Structures are given as C-alpha cells and as structure tokens.
Amino acid sequence: MAETTTRDGRCLCGAVRYRVTGEPIWIAHCHCESCRRATSAAFASYAGYLRDRFEILAGAPAIYRSSPGVERRFCCNCGSPLTYEAERWPDQTHILICSLDHPAALQPTAHVHADEQLTWLHLADGLPRE
C-alpha cells in the first residue's frame, strides 16, 4: 500500500494547527497587491491543495473577506495568515507555505501576478512568470 504524505502547519502562537494530505496541485509565489498587504511581505508563497485535503486540527481560524468571493483565514490570537480560498477555485485551499512545520519541503515552481511585482525586488531564480 502506498504511503500518503501529510504535512502539518500552524500559526505563530500554535493556537491554530492544520494538516494537508497528499501532494499540492501547484506551488507558486504570488506578487499581487492583495497578497502582499495580507502578509505584509514583498510576495506570498502558496501551495494549492484540493479543499478536501485540508483540515483544521486545533483552534478556529478567523475569516477575513478581502475582496468579493475571497476568504483569508488567520489566527485571531497572533494574526498569522494561514490560507486563501476563492470562488474562482471552489475546490481548492491555498496554504501559505511558511506556515508549514517544514516549509522547505515544498519548492515553488512559478511566480504569479508578476506584473505587480515590486520594482525593487530582483529575483534571479529562473522560474516562469505569469
């Protein structure tokens, strides 16, 4: 029987813990203004999983509706952003890779919304830009 990969993640304070099962559909860096503001970072790195492969193990993340049809989940205690879900991808949950216990296990393969990348950010990783 084949083993199924599971990865656990959490917020900064540990109040919210989650698990994803299997391999992600995609892994990418997002440069859109909305993701930058939600994470207070130059870009956000996400892994997209089928929604039924994501489960909350502890705590109850708060939800912020950042734009029509978009929900971002975060810890209401420490403020750590955890997920992104959108009507555009109704069967997916996008997790912020750095909320994983072992974020180095998932390597991004592309940049999305590269047209919104900050002009002072220079990345020479050779990944495709969409």
Q: What is the pLDDT of residue 1?
A: 54
SS3 state at 33: helix
* CB-based contacts of 43, cutoff 8 Å, min separation 6: 29, 30, 31, 35, 36, 111, 117, 121
How is residue 5 annotated by DSSP? P
Q: What is the pLDDT of residue 2?
A: 61
SS3 state at 126: coil
Q: What is the pLDDT of residue 29?
A: 98
Q: Could you give the domains of the chain?
A: 6-116 (2.170.150.70)
Q: What is the pLDDT of residue 28?
A: 98
Q: What is the pLDDT of residue 73?
A: 98
Q: What is the pLDDT of residue 51?
A: 97
**Structure confidence by residue, pLDDT tens digits, 2-18:** 668 999 999 999 999 99
Its pTM stands at 0.94
Nearest Cα residue to 96 out of 59, 58, 61: 61
